[in-house]
Amino acid sequence: MKYITSVNRLLLLICLLLPSVGLVSCSDDNEGFVPDGPISLSVTRDGADVDALEFGTYGGNVLLTLESNAYWEISVPKDASWLVLSNRSGDPTITEDAEDEDEPRYIKLSAEPLGDGSTRTCTVSFRAGDVVKNVTVTQKQPELADESGWESAFVANRNMGVGVNLWNTLDAVGDWFDPDDIVACETCWGQPLAKQEWFDAVAASGFKAVRVPVTWWLHMDENDMVKEPWMNRVEEVANYALNAGLYCIINVHHDTGDGGWLCADKANIERIAARFTKLWTQIANRFNKYDHKIIFEGYNEMLDEKNSWVEPEASGYEAVNILAQTFVNAVRATGGNNLHRNLIVNTYGGGGSATRLDNLVIPEDKIKGHLMVQVHNYTPSNFSNLDGSLSDLDDEEMPLWTKEFEKQLGEELELLIKFSNTYGVPVVIGECGAYDRIAEEERAKYAEFISTYAHGRANISVFFWGQLIDRNTCEELYPLFIDGFLKGLNN
């Protein structure tokens, strides 16, 4: 009996020790596995090793890739409840079993909005066995101004909030008028001459900014110098906006687009960039004395040499990125106020799809926090009539604003929210629209949806393309529609 009891005790002792033995010798399928040999642990983002992450004031998500041949776990300080992880622990992602396919584990880190709070930081620790990888996570309250006191792009875009376009006035092109005749050029597309009273009415209605589209090539001489009367008129119109207390975005408009000289043509990029630099050097020098309420937009809807609206030639995205950098370099090189001026670059064709956003490289800048990215959005196309589907319908057949329309537009706005928060850059929806024959109360629903959707979630401003305030009488054409847009102020 004593012999049997001793054996039982020995078996019991072995059973008690088995769990700890398993930590170093059990199969990959058992929780807590640590290999006999060296432990590997990597944490990457987009293929690059990561030691630090930064979120903006609106928070957002970051996806990390974790790979390890050991059981792993993640720890976050108790006082960092603002940071949420999709996973906290897991089995090895790398195995020696030929039947098992090695698959990395994706860890999503989500930061909650910072609100009015101060910048906060914490350390996230990734551990596998005795190997530890620390990642510092910081959520910054963006700078309101740079060292010179110049307003940041974040603040400017928030202050603009909701604006309108001057529409087809200084951007007109054609061969049936004399481009040196300023009046003919400005009115040839059916708009009256721009005047101070209209800008005053825009401000009185509650809008904070006007985007002024300008076409330049018709008004440049054989040496690519902008003719003085045209430059004077552009400056005069910009001053109308400033006199009304509005922000004013000045751009290069129909120099891009179908057949435009300013195109995403990689084969001829040096010639195009040289001309582009010369143009922006002239514009920047003329407006160098103006303060932060003048904002430059480098180009409008730039296309490749084949005028591809869907997807560009293989080098089209690269060409746009080169010209975006060219624009920033040209403006900054003029010095003075332009060292700090807020600048806008657009995606290829002004598109806001995932492909267009993913292929845009935000330019390098000499000064931090003074760049914005612009897209145009006419979704749903059968509400804005971008697809022409409404033109032949009777008024009683015009669409209502529906949940399906909200879903379509919401999906695209989500892309902009993610982009803005991922890269810490404000986004400008420089053009959007709703068909003017649709009932005003339905258009008002659209206006409220697009202007408020990102409220508290991202730094996004919205500019309407079309007439909301009569260019002749300066009276509000659609009060309900305007009120819908203005609900998006102070985003």
Q: SS3 of 219, please? A: helix
Predicted pLDDT of residue 272? 98
User: Which residue, 332, 370, 358, is CA-closest to 151?
Assistant: 370
Whole-number Å distance between alpha carbons of 145 and 356: 30
Predicted pLDDT of residue 102? 76
Q: CA 382 → CA 62, 275, 414, 446, distances in Å? A: 34, 38, 20, 13
Which residues are within 8 A (CB) of 482 and not within 5 positions of it... i.e. 6 or more apart?
205, 206, 447, 468, 469, 476
Whole-number Å distance between alpha carbons of 405 and 398: 14
Whole-number Å distance between alpha carbons of 68 and 89: 11
Q: Which residues of the chain have pLDDT under 70?
A: 1-31, 98-101, 490-491
Tokens 């401000």 belong to 203
Tokens for 430, please give them: 């420089």
Buried b or exposed e, range 248-269, using 16+ CB within 10 angstroms? bbbbbbbbbbeebbbbbbbeeb
Predicted pLDDT of residue 148? 85
Phi, psi of 41 (to 5 degrees): -150, 125
Q: How far is CA 43 from the centre of its chain?
A: 26
Tokens 């064709």 belong to 349
Phi, psi of 45 (to 5 degrees): -135, 120
Predicted pLDDT of residue 146? 85
Count of beta carbons in the 10 Å neighbourhood of residue 428: 28
Question: Which DSSP category does 118 fall into?
Answer: P
Known catalytic membership, residue 301? yes
The beta-strand segments (E) located in 448-487 are 460-464
Q: What share of the chain is helix, strand, coil (3-state, %, to 5)?
A: 35, 20, 45
Q: CA 90 → CA 24, 72, 268, distances in Å? A: 16, 6, 52
Pairing between strand 294-297 and 343-346?
Answer: parallel
Question: Which DSSP category does 150 fall into?
Answer: P
Buried b or exposed e, range 376-406, using 16+ CB within 10 angstroms? bbbbbeebbbeeeebeeeeeeebbebeeebb
- Looking at this protein, which amino acid is placed at residue 366? K
Tokens for 35, please give them: 């290999």
Whole-number Å distance between alpha carbons of 17 and 70: 21
Tokens 């399906």 belong to 404
The answer to whether the beta carbons of residues 248 and 293 sit under 8 Å apart is: yes
Predicted pLDDT of residue 162? 97
Buried b or exposed e, range 63-81, using 16+ CB within 10 angstroms? ebbbbbbbbbebebeeebe
Whole-number Å distance between alpha carbons of 248 and 240: 9
- Looking at this protein, which amino acid is placed at residue 463? F
Tokens for 301, please give them: 């809807």
Longest CA span, the chain = 118
Predicted pLDDT of residue 60? 86
Known catalytic membership, residue 197? no
The answer to whether the beta carbons of residues 288 and 336 sit under 8 Å apart is: yes
Catalytic residue from among 151, 186, 431, 442? 431
* R_g (Cα) of the chain, nearest Å: 29
Whole-number Å distance between alpha carbons of 33 and 51: 25
The answer to whether the beta carbons of residues 258 and 307 sit under 8 Å apart is: yes
Catalytic residue from among 186, 297, 301, 448? 301
The answer to whether the beta carbons of residues 431 and 350 sit under 8 Å apart is: yes
- Residue ranges in 392-475 assigned as alpha helix (H): 403-423, 440-452
Tokens for 205, please give them: 């209605």
